[in-house]
Structure 1
């Protein structure tokens, strides 16, 4: 098989191994800080029946003496003022408890400030509480408690079912509580469920999204990828109970909890460190999800920059169209991971609402009823039918998995390396992994494109290279791609690299990625980067060919 297609073929055959390898990072979040309860929520009715109004029995206190939580409106959100509020150090899940002690999901992946959503919770405890933490910087605490419910009655929800045709896990859980978001600032949230008596804790992720992104840098939560890797109920997009690829789900539902130990999906490792850094810098941010970008055609209009975070593999054609249109209108794009925009998906409704079923048949696309009705095949973007390699947007293309290799600086004079002290040939151990991208002009590649780091790797016996790259287009937009999935994870690497946390990344890697990302965020927030920092093509000098 041609080497260009080996990565895609391998991914279809990996099954449980790939999912387990990528999930190893999910226990790596820490925080510190103190603060007070603030905010309140008022329920706005139950669209799906059953449950209690969590807003009616909520606690409400000011964030600071005489303080009032910010409204978080579309035009009034101030990230600096928000992060000046006291943070809270008690947000992590520290008592997971037995399996199924408590777990839940929200019936919407995102809401606008002030909107309500439903919580569907199953617990063996008689009562539980819900605490809404907004994730950010907060002086290093990384979270602020915005709202906490009174004790709510707990119940054990029915067992799930598995769809015979698609092997999709279905829950028929009733709504436990309706939660309003009045006075919740826009941002990334983790709702912590606490079973009575310390019997268990789990997170439920939620995005309080921005109504407009004009003039702001947009953090896009990769909820489709979170769900594809979710194996709650025994099935996910990679395998089923027997661990084999053939037993995978052909469609997965957002109507279930996340199976990772803390319930936060992939957020804490692949996204939270970047959100914290951007908020520490005071970058004007907007917040949304991959689902929102796909649904709302004008959402990215006027944005300064759009950020794809650490693991953003599953994209709908609509999402890709929105990103491409934004780039062509002058919006900068940063790809802060690897294996981005690799799987083509379709979003369909569930019983609880629109866009809550993720369809991805992969190599079995001919079995897809949607494909038979004329929808695009849910195969890898680079694959037929309808091949459209991701490199035409990203500049780089996914090349393989798994690797663990040093990151090698090639172009230390580039503006993105300013202030790092990096020199040509400097190596940063373990920073390339577990998946990687490269510049490959055998695929559609925008030019001019600059390679900043060119790192030798060996992937399952095949020598190759990882590339970090930057290109610019006539609209003035700049597009940056790290080419490694560990970039965002490395932002939190402050240790000696020997503890096994953060894949052995050390403080030196943490310092490099932090400074490069700071340079990137500041320049991208200022407007079309290509107008002030045009790319200087160096593919020939790096690869010896054009």
Structure 2
């Protein structure tokens, strides 16, 4: 069946809410670094912009016990021109400060706080860098791999990101296929106050309500980036890192960018840890993960939404998504590197081959108009599985339900059938034959529009793209439609001596934030076994 459907406006694109960039008016201060990660003894080059005469930089080693490790004060302020396409080509600001990394700084996440004052006003913004270990695996078997490609995709500083910002009509989201690393970050990816909204419903939804998005309302009111809860450190990796430190785990740090640039980045580690929202991956990043498993290492993924292939070209990330024919590698011998979703036959490398699950068999739950009154947890199907040892969980019990609601926002699943009350992967989407589905929850491909296009939605879907109409939507005889359904899944598989654990939930960390006993127990069990301590 063909025909047009009413398309709701995107909830994150209300009129009069521009993406951050320098205006030259009022007090402003921003900065970025020349890279995402460094080794001991290397130098961080900082490029700063401020309308103040002077500014300062403070470096904080973040984690359970944040520590100031470096300060530079009374630096002369400069306000260089910023290109209109800084989101794609970078800011091009001159280097204004350098930070030499001492040999005794441990591998960690470091925040750079830029602060400026003028006329009684104060402004602060932040950037980051990671310090890699000089001896990978010596002090810990765990490498926490920060999701920098998803950060790049959601960072709209300068005017655009992988979702919106271009075009003449603010009601129509047009993405940029090119995104630069050499620009600041919108506020909220790195720091925000405790209790900031997350991408899911926390309370009961009444009958006949209209969906709301507290993350956007909060961000607009408090001058944070609209995508602050969509990706990266403050929302995902930081709560995990704080919890892990408090439990006595030692973590080394890498970025996805490290995996792309250095195929040996994971050498020396027994377990790669992924947390939160790791939607975007390059071919070489996947190679690094697969090589780890092939040599007998393990992956502990407390995250979800594995979807898109990107390419890293210098300091630019490329992703053409729904228009692969615009990608220069389309139709060439390198067509397997075309930047669209991993499950597309043009690529020939399904997401399930690396992670066991795929974002395109899961997607949304408890977010906007997607299963808004769902239980938000994972229903247990295989209570005897090693990940659930010592939990006292029974078949049919709920793992991570209210208030943790770990199976909300974006989730991953796979093609499966149910036999005798147990789910089994079919392998139709490339899932490994020995994949064990431990627990599940409901999900939908897009938000369900019950409002005839009159109410903004977070993700109203892509019915206008003919290629996806048959796979993403079910069209009813009466001319209406619904999105296809998916599942959140917690699963494991082995390849040789290596093991992959996949929580299949971007909000797993909410179980740690809420100190859910069962979620904490499973997290410890996974880390101990895959890190070689059990």
Normalised TM-score (structure 1): 0.69
2:435 to 438, 442, 449: 449
Contact 2:364–2:444 (8 Å) recurs in 1: no
Distance in 2 between residues matched to 1:180 and 1:438, nearest whole Å:
44
Contact 1:212–1:299 (8 Å) recurs in 2: no
- Residue of structure 1 in register with 2:363 after alignment: 401
CA-to-partner distance for each residue in 1:151-173, whole Å, 9 max, x for gaps?
A: 2122223133228xxx8253121
Distance apart, 1:136 and its partner CA:
2.1
Number of equivalenced pairs: 410
Distance in 2 between residues matched to 1:327 and 1:288, nearest whole Å:
17
Distance in 2 between residues matched to 1:280 and 1:431, nearest whole Å:
20
Structure number with higher relative contact order (C-alpha < 8 Å, ≥ 6 residues apart): 2
Flag the 1:327–1:162 CA change in 2: closer, same or farther, 3 A. same
Flag the 1:422–1:358 CA change in 2: closer, same or farther, 3 A. same
Structure 1 range deviating more: 128-137 or 477-486: 128-137
- Residue of structure 2 in register with 1:80 after alignment: none
Contact 1:304–1:332 (8 Å) recurs in 2: yes
Contact 2:260–2:312 (8 Å) recurs in 1: no
- Residue of structure 1 in register with 2:211 after alignment: none
- Residue of structure 1 in register with 2:462 after alignment: none
1:423 lines up with 2:398 in the alignment: no
What is the SS of the residue equivalent to 2:322?
helix
Contact 2:37–2:130 (8 Å) recurs in 1: yes
Distance in 2 between residues matched to 1:137 and 1:251, nearest whole Å:
35
Distance in 2 between residues matched to 1:99 and 1:409, nearest whole Å:
54
CA-to-partner distance for each residue in 1:80-139, whole Å, 9 max, x for gaps?
A: xxxxxxxxxxxxxxxxxx98721111111111022111111112222222111112223x
Structure 1 range deviating more: 248-257 or 364-373: 364-373
1:324 to 281, 286, 290: 290
CA-to-partner distance for each residue in 1:400-424, whole Å, 9 max, x for gaps?
A: 4332142123333333234444333
Contact 1:302–1:331 (8 Å) recurs in 2: no
Distance in 1 between residues matched to 2:346 and 2:59, nearest whole Å:
44
Distance in 2 between residues matched to 1:394 and 1:174, nearest whole Å:
41
Flag the 1:206–1:370 CA change in 2: closer, same or farther, 3 A. same
Distance in 2 between residues matched to 1:517 and 1:322, nearest whole Å:
23
What is the SS of the residue equivalent to 1:369?
coil
2:95 to 157, 166, 175: 175
Contact 2:266–2:292 (8 Å) recurs in 1: yes
Distance apart, 1:304 and its partner CA:
0.9
In the TM superposition, 1:466-481 aligns within 5 A as: 466-474=488-496, 476-481=497-502
1:366 lines up with 2:366 in the alignment: no
2:280 to 314, 317, 325: 314
Distance in 1 between residues matched to 2:324 and 2:184, nearest whole Å:
27
1:193 lines up with 2:114 in the alignment: yes
- Residue of structure 2 in register with 1:339 after alignment: 305
Distance in 1 between residues matched to 2:95 and 2:439, nearest whole Å:
50
1:300 lines up with 2:300 in the alignment: no
Contact 1:103–1:263 (8 Å) recurs in 2: no
Unaligned runs of 5+ in 1: 2-12, 21-97, 350-355, 494-506, 533-546
1:232 to 146, 157, 162: 157
Contact 2:60–2:70 (8 Å) recurs in 1: yes
- Residue of structure 2 in register with 1:37 after alignment: none
Flag the 1:313–1:212 CA change in 2: closer, same or farther, 3 A. farther
Q: CA RMSD in A?
A: 2.7
Contact 1:448–1:472 (8 Å) recurs in 2: yes
Distance in 2 between residues matched to 1:453 and 1:339, nearest whole Å:
17
Distance in 2 between residues matched to 1:434 and 1:480, nearest whole Å:
20
In the TM superposition, 1:93-492 aligns within 5 A as: 101-138=28-65, 143-162=66-85, 168=88, 170-182=90-102, 183-196=104-117, 199-214=122-137, 216-241=141-166, 242-243=169-170, 247-261=174-188, 266-340=232-306, 342-349=307-314, 356-371=315-330, 374-375=333-334, 376-398=337-359, 399-404=361-366, 405=374, 406-407=376-377, 408-427=379-398, 428-429=401-402, 430-440=405-415, 441=426, 442-459=428-445, 460=448, 461=482, 462-474=484-496, 476-492=497-513
- Residue of structure 2 in register with 1:90 after alignment: none
Flag the 1:116–1:19 CA change in 2: closer, same or farther, 3 A. farther
Distance in 2 between residues matched to 1:100 and 1:364, nearest whole Å:
40
- Residue of structure 1 in register with 2:461 after alignment: none
Flag the 1:370–1:174 CA change in 2: closer, same or farther, 3 A. farther
Distance in 2 between residues matched to 1:160 and 1:437, nearest whole Å:
38
Distance apart, 1:176 and its partner CA:
1.5
Contact 2:56–2:72 (8 Å) recurs in 1: yes
Distance apart, 1:223 and its partner CA:
0.8
CA-to-partner distance for each residue in 1:334-391, whole Å, 9 max, x for gaps?
A: 1211112x21111112xxxxxx100111122222234466442111111131231100
Flag the 1:14–1:130 CA change in 2: closer, same or farther, 3 A. farther
Unaligned runs of 5+ in 2: 2-6, 15-24, 192-230, 367-373, 416-425, 449-481
Distance in 1 between residues matched to 2:11 and 2:488, nearest whole Å:
22
Flag the 1:99–1:348 CA change in 2: closer, same or farther, 3 A. farther
Distance in 1 between residues matched to 2:524 and 2:13, nearest whole Å:
30
CA-to-partner distance for each residue in 1:256-297, whole Å, 9 max, x for gaps?
A: 111134655621111111222232333343211111111112
Contact 1:185–1:208 (8 Å) recurs in 2: yes
Distance in 2 between residues matched to 1:326 and 1:443, nearest whole Å:
23
Contact 1:204–1:263 (8 Å) recurs in 2: yes
Flag the 1:234–1:287 CA change in 2: closer, same or farther, 3 A. same
Distance in 1 between residues matched to 2:47 and 2:8, nearest whole Å:
32
Distance in 1 between residues matched to 2:97 and 2:91, nearest whole Å:
16
Distance in 2 between residues matched to 1:253 and 1:209, nearest whole Å:
22
Distance in 1 between residues matched to 2:290 and 2:8, nearest whole Å:
30
Distance in 2 between residues matched to 1:222 and 1:322, nearest whole Å:
14
What is the SS of the residue equivalent to 1:443?
coil
Flag the 1:412–1:319 CA change in 2: closer, same or farther, 3 A. same
